[in-house]
């Protein structure tokens, strides 16, 4: 496996890898198709977030053990990671539209599997396909939306793409929780509605112009690797623990909250369960948009501090069976994730051209979804041995440690930058 996947010496690259821009990037048809692409990117995460409240319902109806519940959550992350690792750079070679259309069609298949499901095996299969589709779509949507935007709107669209995944997770959890509580067929309500939006997404992607020039090397790009070019490498490794801390904290709520809602806080209402699950990603989406106006390097440091404090508050609340403390932690840590992830993309995005931006974002999302899924699977296994509360505390300690490491690294980097600036100004 090639890490830091630099292209082999001699591999041909176009100077920009950028498709010719349409004459008017702000024309109404262009704006409408871009809006449809953004909505489709939110729908991808919506389907993933909808699973959390529904899994509790399935467990109650079908009677499967907790480890199968966490397996259904984690198989999504595992297949997503595998797809990102293998196919994260494919859109840099064949274009954004083919990858996005293929991913959206796979998500339509996922909806069909959920609608047909009558046992946990169907759900695990559906989540595996969902992970594959999301892995293909996530970094490609991020690159495509940024490239579709006009230069003056590009910073705003970068912030929007960082908020879309967590915003979609929150909307999916909220909508599914309400459907569980107030409808007799929540799976049909959730996934039939999602299928309609996905079809709209396919139409929007096909209507949007292609932003990446086709270039050779697609088969070589399927070799597992992380594409982090030299210009972005230093920042990438400084931001990696921060991205991991934020998404691991998100996994705490999307993956484990349905279990501790029931066992620690005796929450059995579908709507209430969905609300608790959604608090963290909802806060992340809102903060990601709000911090878009804050200087990116400063926002990463603020994000690290918020994730650290949120992790301490949330796990303290679970250990003490104090729901208001958990809610406060969810809001604080969620805000930290939103500030950190959005600003990380703002820092890294300009460091790559269109020819390699999809691969760079694939590397970012590989770290994000590894932190989002793998610890939850380990926590689900550990909770059978040591108990859920102790597992959540250990989980939170690891999140806090990652946030602290990131905070120290970014602070040192900022001080070094200030010294260099001062020395340059003094000459």
Q: Percent of the chain scored above 90 by pLDDT?
A: 36
Instruction: Tell me: pLDDT of 5 over 50.
Output: no
Give the distance, in angstroms, between the CA of residue 293 and the centroid of all CA atoms in the same chain.
21
Give the distance, in angstroms, between the CA of residue 118 and the centroid of all CA atoms in the same chain.
28
Contacts of 411 by beta carbon, 8 Å cutoff, 6+ apart: 301
Tell me the C-alpha distance between 288 and 292, whole Å.
Answer: 6
What pLDDT was estimated at residue 338?
Answer: 92
What pLDDT was estimated at residue 361?
Answer: 80
pLDDT tens figures, 250-277: 988 887 887 787 778 888 787 887 888 8
Q: At what angle do helices 270-290 and 154-182 cross, to 10 degrees?
A: 170
Q: HEC string of 169-200?
A: HHHHHHHHHHHHHHCCCHHHHHHHHHHHHHHH
Tell me the C-alpha distance between 206 and 246, whole Å.
Answer: 33
Task: Take residue 97 and report the two structure tokens written for it.
Answer: 């539209």
Burial of 3: CB neighbours in 10 Å, binned 0-12, 13-18, 19+? exposed
pLDDT tens figures, 319-350: 998 999 999 999 999 999 999 998 998 898 88
Output the CA–CA distances (angstroms, integers) from residue 349 to 150, 343, 394, 413, in the order listed. 15, 10, 34, 19
Task: Take residue 326 and report the two structure tokens written for it.
Answer: 């958990």
Query: For the whole model, what pTM was predicted?
Result: 0.73
Q: What is the number of other CB atoms lying within 10 angstroms of the CB of residue 113? A: 18
Task: Take residue 295 and report the two structure tokens written for it.
Answer: 């200087």
What are the φ and ψ backbone dihedral angles of 224, each rounded to 5 degrees? -60, 125
Segment (H or E) for 226: none
What pLDDT was estimated at residue 283?
Answer: 93
Instruction: Tell me: pLDDT of 418 over 70.
Output: no
Q: Of 3.40.30.10, 1.10.10.1200, 3.40.50.970, 1.20.1250.20, which CATH number belongs to 28-217+230-426?
A: 1.20.1250.20
pLDDT tens figures, 172-228: 988 998 999 899 999 999 999 999 999 999 999 999 988 877 777 677 666 666 667
Domains of the chain by residue range: 28-217+230-426
pLDDT tens figures, 366-411: 898 889 878 888 887 888 788 888 899 999 999 999 999 999 999 9
> Higher-confidence residue: 14 or 54?
54
C-alpha torsion angle, residues 138, 335, 49, 164 (rounded to 10): -30
CA neighbor of 54 nearest in space, from 150, 160, 191: 191
Instruction: Tell me: pLDDT of 149 over 90.
Output: no
CA neighbor of 246 nearest in space, from 358, 169, 355: 169
Q: What is the number of other CB atoms lying within 10 angstroms of the CB of residue 224? A: 14
| Three-state SS at 212 | strand
pLDDT band at 23 (very low <50, low <70, confident <90, very high): very low
What pLDDT was estimated at residue 293?
Answer: 84
Burial code of 50-86, b = ≥16 C-beta within 10 A, e = fewer? bbbbbbbbbbeeeebeeebbbbbbbbbbbbbbbbbbb
pLDDT tens figures, 77-102: 789 888 877 776 788 888 889 999 99
Question: Tokens 């805000």 belong to which residue?
Answer: 335
Tell me the C-alpha distance between 67 and 89, whole Å.
Answer: 33
What pLDDT was estimated at residue 381?
Answer: 80
pLDDT tens figures, 165-178: 888 888 998 899 89
> Higher-confidence residue: 62 or 87?
62
Contacts of 158 by beta carbon, 8 Å cutoff, 6+ apart: 146, 342, 345, 346, 349
Task: Take residue 252 and report the two structure tokens written for it.
Answer: 């705490």
Total count of residues recorded for the chain: 427
Q: Percent of the chain scored above 70 by pLDDT?
A: 88
């Amino acid at each position: 496996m090639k890490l830091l996947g630099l292209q082999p010496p001699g591999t041909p690259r176009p100077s920009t890898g950028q498709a010719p821009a349409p004459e008017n990037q702000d024309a109404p048809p262009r704006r409408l198709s871009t809006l449809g692409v953004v909505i489709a990117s939110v729908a991808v995460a919506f389907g993933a977030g909808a699973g959390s409240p529904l899994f509790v319902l399935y467990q109650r109806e079908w009677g499967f053990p907790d480890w199968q519940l966490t397996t259904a959550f984690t198989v999504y992350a595992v297949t997503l990671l595998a797809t990102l690792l293998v196919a994260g750079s494919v859109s840099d070679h064949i274009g954004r539209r083919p990858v996005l259309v293929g991913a959206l069609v796979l998500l339509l298949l996922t909806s069909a599997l959920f609608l047909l499901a009558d046992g946990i095996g169907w759900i695990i299969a559906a989540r595996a396909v969902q992970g594959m589709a999301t892995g293909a779509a996530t970094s490609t949507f991020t690159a495509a939306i940024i490239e579709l935007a006009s230069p003056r709107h590009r910073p705003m669209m970068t912030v929007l793409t960082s908020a879309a995944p967590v915003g979609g997770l929150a909307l999916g959890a909220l909508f599914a929780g309400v459907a569980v509580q107030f409808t007799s067929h929540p799976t049909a309500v959730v996934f039939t509605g999602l299928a309609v939006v996905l079809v709209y997404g396919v139409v929007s992607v096909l209507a949007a112009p292609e932003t990446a020039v086709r270039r050779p090397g697609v088969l070589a790009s399927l070799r597992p690797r992380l594409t982090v070019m030299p210009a972005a490498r230093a920042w990438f490794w400084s931001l990696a623990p921060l991205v991991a801390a934020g998404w691991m904290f998100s996994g705490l709520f999307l993956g484990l909250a349905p279990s501790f809602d029931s066992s620690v806080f005796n929450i059995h209402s579908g709507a209430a369960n969905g609300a608790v699950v959604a608090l963290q990603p909802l806060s992340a989406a809102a903060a990601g948009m709000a911090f878009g106006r804050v200087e990116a390097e400063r926002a990463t440091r603020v994000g690290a501090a918020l994730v650290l404090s949120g992790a301490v508050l949330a796990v303290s609340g679970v250990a003490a069976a104090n729901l208001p403390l958990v809610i406060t932690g969810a809001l604080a840590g969620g805000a930290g994730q939103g500030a950190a992830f959005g600003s990380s993309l703002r820092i890294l995005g300009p460091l790559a051209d269109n020819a390699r931006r999809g691969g760079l974002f694939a590397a970012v999302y590989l770290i994000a979804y590894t932190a989002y899924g793998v610890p939850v699977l380990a926590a689900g296994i550990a909770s059978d041995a040591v108990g859920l509360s102790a597992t959540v505390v250990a989980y939170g300690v690891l999140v806090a440690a990652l946030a602290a490491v990131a905070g120290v690294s970014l602070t040192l980097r900022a001080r070094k930058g200030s010294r260099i600036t001062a020395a340059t100004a003094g000459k």
